[in-house]
Amino acid sequence: MSRFQSNRRLEKNQPVYDDDEENASPEARDNDGEKGGGQNDASSGRDYVNVPSQPYIMKILSKQGDRNVLFADRVMKFTGSGKMKKRILLITEFAIYILDPDTYALKRRIALAAVEKLCLSGLGDHFFAIIIPTEYDILMASTRKSEIVSALLEATKSASDYELDVLYSTRFEYHAAADLVKEVQFEEVEGGIKTRILRK
């Protein structure tokens, strides 16, 4: 708990607003104007990349034994060195998948049981961090941040009857790598939100 300043839980109907550089990073636009859609056997949730029509993604899910996609969309992921990379984020009943949107290569799979909490500001920015104590954490940005939080809460509750902590703060730390801690700071300024990512 010492890594965070706030311990406020996400209420069910509470609104949530949607790697070496140390200064402000731009608000990430992650959807490329695309709308997916289709819901069928492999996708019963919010699917903005139309997973059932993507054979490479379907093969990855099948190999892992996952069938029900709760959320799928393009996001921006921040690397340990501070670079932004386009990724596809998939949330299923059992895991979080991070894929390369160009090659559909699986970059990372995280079991939902390994996720400790989510950190976000509660302001109008698009940033959120997924905290995974047994590995390094993930900092991402999405205009659909509130849908991602909802999907992760739903997935963890149905899989393990445990409610994932959602922590709100105008600053939080995350482990960008095993030995690299960064702090994300948010400040309301005229015309928007100023976001800084600093090495600790």
Q: What percent of the chain has pLDDT over 90?
A: 69
Quick check: is 61 in a domain?
A: yes
On whether residue 168 sits in a domain, the answer given is: yes
Residue 71 in this model has a pLDDT that exceeds 90: yes
In angstroms, the Cα distances linking 27 to 77, 110, 126 are: 12, 25, 7
Q: How confident is the model at residue 37 (pLDDT cuts 50, 70, 90)?
A: very low
Q: What percent of the chain has pLDDT over 70?
A: 78
1 in a domain, yes or no? no
- The mean predicted confidence, pLDDT, of the chain is 81
Return the DSSP state at 182.
Answer: E
Please indicate, yes or no, if residue 69 is contained in any of the structural domains: yes
Q: What is the pLDDT of residues 166-195, one digit of tens each?
A: 999 999 999 999 899 999 999 999 989 999
State how far the Cα of 121 lies from the Cα of 95, in Å rounded to an integer.
Answer: 24
Q: How confident is the model at residue 42 (pLDDT cuts 50, 70, 90)?
A: low
Q: Is residue 23 part of a domain?
A: no
The two structure tokens encoding residue 123: 């302001």
Instruction: Report which of 100, 116, 97 is spatially closest to residue 108, judged by C-alpha positions.
Output: 97
The reply to whether 29 falls in a domain is no
In a domain, 189, yes or no: yes
175, 137 contact by CB (below 8 A): yes
Instruction: Give the count of beta carbons closer than 10 Å to the beta carbon of residue 119.
Output: 26
Give the CATH number for residue 156: 2.30.29.30
In angstroms, what CA-CA distances link 104 with 60, 117, 154, 165? 9, 27, 25, 30
Distance CA 118, CA 14 (A): 15
122 falls within a domain: yes
Q: What is the pLDDT of residues 139-154, one digit of tens each?
A: 999 999 999 999 999 9
Q: What is the C-alpha to C-alpha distance for residues 100 and 183, in angstroms, rounded to an integer?
A: 25
Q: Which domain holds residue 92?
A: 43-199
User: Which residue would you say has higher pLDDT here, 159 or 183?
Assistant: 183
Consecutive H or E run containing 8: none
The count of domains in the chain is 1
